[in-house]
């Protein structure tokens, strides 16, 4: 069954049954140039991060009540465990390692973060120093919400108990655009904080800059480089993306609204706490979001019929992206509004436990795959090719093993795929005899089932590509001429 058109990005300028688009000439130019490698910082300081010891979780009951914390010794069926060796060349010489977390990007007052008022239901506006494309809109400001989301307009009346998106009462009520790693009502103990800061690559320090400012600028550069690697590993089509600006928001040790607690007895009478993070980076054309979940101990609040003791049951929180103004809401399955939300710190869609990556500028495209999800959308990059075939495309959708029998289907034609990493594979395009949008699928069982499906655009040509080689400034240039009908 073909996948719905609304869930797949369209190449609108080529769509149409008649393809009466005139003649387009496309030149693909490849330059043989030297690559500039990222220069790592000086060797790290000798002081190492102390060993994290496994801890028991006081909220587990018989069976599985909540997700275990990140640092336990549970076996993982998918994903690297977060360790300090994620990117060993990206170490900050200015700070001992114990100030950095294996999963979360560096946050807190030490790194120059700000905090809104420490209570639930607060939104604090911050002006961005850049243009942020998001879900078809463009923004230069944001609202940091202590209830687990980043908004671009105020909610209609705070955070509702069981919100529905898009807002069914729009336009009588505001339908606010937002990015939500965990949209739910929160409460704050004396340990709870929300941190945020703006990030730009290559910030130039003033002559009067303090050592703290120099350290923060350097850390921001390292963070942007780490985010770049995470995005390129998990997202197809991101090979040429270079993040220039970003917004980092961290919700640390927040509990749920309706939970009774005593700040003086938190050590002996602990409460369920969640710690998660959203990093949004952009080059002002493309935008990517990275969600990190260090600990998920509760999934809802008492106003959404959750248990007042452990924050489970009821209507779980929402995880996703709202375009606003009635345009649409995309949510992350199978976690959003589901009890499996408690497993987000155990899973990933980029083979790194607790981390999830998305492209969010025009439409929402998730990275890689989520283990245990056996049906969904398949993506290809590039998302179109010629009838002549013979082009390699990057594909994603299902989770891949080195032993997977990977096959791709373009319309009625199948090709053999090759493994790249647990979240990506490559497939050659076949010779095809029909132009236009065609169903595209990815299989991991040798073509017996295609449970991940999308669309692929096939262009029609009036002649074979004509390849020419030339030189310019001593560099070899290959020019490939395609003519679309």
Under the banding of pLDDT at 50, 70 and 90, the label for residue 465 is very low
The reported pLDDT for the residue numbered 461 is 65
**Run of H or E residues at 193:** strand 193-200
Mean pLDDT of the chain: 79
pLDDT at residue 231 is higher than 80? yes
> How far is the C-alpha of 369 from the C-alpha of 388, rounded, in Å?
30
Please give the share of the chain, as a percent, with pLDDT higher than 70.
73
For residue 276, list its beta bridge partners: 251, 293
Whole-model pTM: value is 0.77
Mean pLDDT of the region 102-110? 91
Under the banding of pLDDT at 50, 70 and 90, the label for residue 13 is very low
pLDDT at residue 276 is higher than 90? yes
pLDDT at residue 431 is higher than 60? yes
**Run of H or E residues at 420:** strand 418-421
CB 384 within 8 A of CB 15: no
pLDDT at residue 370 is higher than 60? yes
pLDDT at residue 440 is higher than 70? yes
For 118, the token pair is 């420490």
**How many of the other CB atoms lie within 10 Å of CB of 262?**
10
The reported pLDDT for the residue numbered 374 is 86
The reported pLDDT for the residue numbered 94 is 61
| Sequence-ordered list of residues with C-beta below 8 angstroms from that of 473, at least 6 positions apart, any chain | none
For 215, the token pair is 């350290």
pLDDT at residue 20 is higher than 60? no
Buried residues in 324-353 as b, exposed as e (16+ CB within 10 A): bbeebbbbbbebbbbebbbbbbbbbbbbbb
> How far is the C-alpha of 26 from the C-alpha of 386, rounded, in Å?
12
> In degrees, to the nearest 5, what angle opens at C-alpha 254 toward C-alphas 248 and 255?
155
The reported pLDDT for the residue numbered 102 is 82
pLDDT at residue 68 is higher than 50? no
pLDDT tens digit sequence for 89-104: 776 666 666 667 889 9
**DSSP 8-state code for residue 339:** G
Of these ranges, 32-41, 158-167, 179-188, 232-241, the one predicted with the greatest mean pLDDT is 179-188
For residue 455, list its beta bridge partners: 439
The reported pLDDT for the residue numbered 91 is 63
Of these ranges, 50-64, 71-85, 199-213, the one predicted with the greatest mean pLDDT is 199-213
Under the banding of pLDDT at 50, 70 and 90, the label for residue 270 is confident
SS3 230: helix
CB 455 within 8 A of CB 410: no
The reported pLDDT for the residue numbered 150 is 98
| CA nearest neighbour of 356 among 71, 23, 79, 61 | 79
pLDDT at residue 246 is higher than 80? yes
The reported pLDDT for the residue numbered 199 is 92
């Amino acid at each position: 069954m073909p996948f719905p058109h609304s869930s797949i990005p369209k190449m609108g300028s080529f769509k149409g049954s008649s393809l009466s688009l005139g003649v387009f000439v496309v030149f693909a130019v490849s330059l043989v140039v030297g690559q500039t490698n990222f220069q790592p910082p000086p060797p790290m300081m000798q002081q190492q991060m102390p060993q994290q010891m496994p801890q028991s979780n006081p909220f587990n009951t018989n069976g599985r009540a909540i997700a275990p914390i990140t640092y336990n010794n549970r076996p993982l069926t998918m994903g690297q465990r977060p360790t300090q060796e994620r990117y060993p060349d990206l170490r900050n010489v200015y700070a001992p390692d114990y100030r950095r977390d294996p999963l979360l990007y560096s946050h807190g007052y030490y790194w120059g973060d700000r905090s809104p008022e420490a209570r639930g239901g607060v939104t604090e506006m911050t002006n961005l120093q850049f243009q942020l494309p998001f879900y078809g809109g463009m923004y230069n400001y944001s609202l940091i919400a202590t209830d687990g989301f980043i908004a671009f307009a105020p909610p209609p009346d705070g955070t509702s108990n069981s919100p529905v998106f898009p807002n069914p009462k729009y336009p009588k009520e505001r339908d606010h655009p937002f990015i939500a790693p965990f949209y739910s009502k929160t409460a704050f103990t004396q340990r709870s904080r929300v941190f945020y800061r703006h990030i730009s690559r290559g910030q130039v320090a003033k002559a009067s800059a303090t050592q703290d400012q120099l350290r923060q600028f350097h850390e921001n550069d390292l963070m942007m480089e780490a985010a770049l690697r995470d995005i390129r590993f998990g997202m197809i089509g991101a090979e040429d993306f270079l993040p220039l600006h970003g917004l980092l928001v961290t919700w640390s040790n927040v509990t749920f609204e309706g939970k009774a607690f005593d700040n003086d007895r938190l050590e002996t009478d602990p409460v369920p706490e969640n710690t998660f993070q959203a990093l949004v980076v952009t080059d002002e054309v493309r935008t990517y979001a990275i969600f990190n979940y260090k600990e998920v101990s509760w999934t809802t609040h008492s106003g959404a019929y959750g248990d007042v003791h452990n924050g489970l049951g009821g209507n779980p929180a929402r995880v996703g992206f709202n375009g606003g103004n009635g345009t649409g809401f995309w949510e992350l399955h199978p976690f959003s509004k589901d009890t499996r939300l408690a497993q987000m710190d155990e899973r990933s869609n980029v083979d790194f436990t607790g981390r999830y990556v998305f492209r969010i500028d025009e439409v929402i495209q998730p990275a890689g795959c989520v283990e245990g999800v056996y049906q969904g959308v398949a993506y290809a990059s590039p998302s179109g090719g010629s009838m002549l075939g013979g082009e390699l495309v990057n594909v994603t959708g299902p989770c891949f093993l080195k032993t997977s029998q990977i096959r791709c289907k373009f319309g009625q034609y199948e090709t053999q795929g090759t493994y790249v990493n647990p979240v990506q594979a490559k497939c050659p395009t076949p010779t095809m005899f029909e132009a236009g949008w065609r169903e595209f699928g990815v299989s991991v069982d040798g073509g017996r089932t295609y449970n991940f499906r999308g669309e692929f655009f096939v262009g029609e040509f009036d002649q074979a590509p004509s390849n020419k080689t030339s030189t310019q400034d001593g560099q070899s240039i290959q020019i490939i001429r395609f003519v679309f009908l």
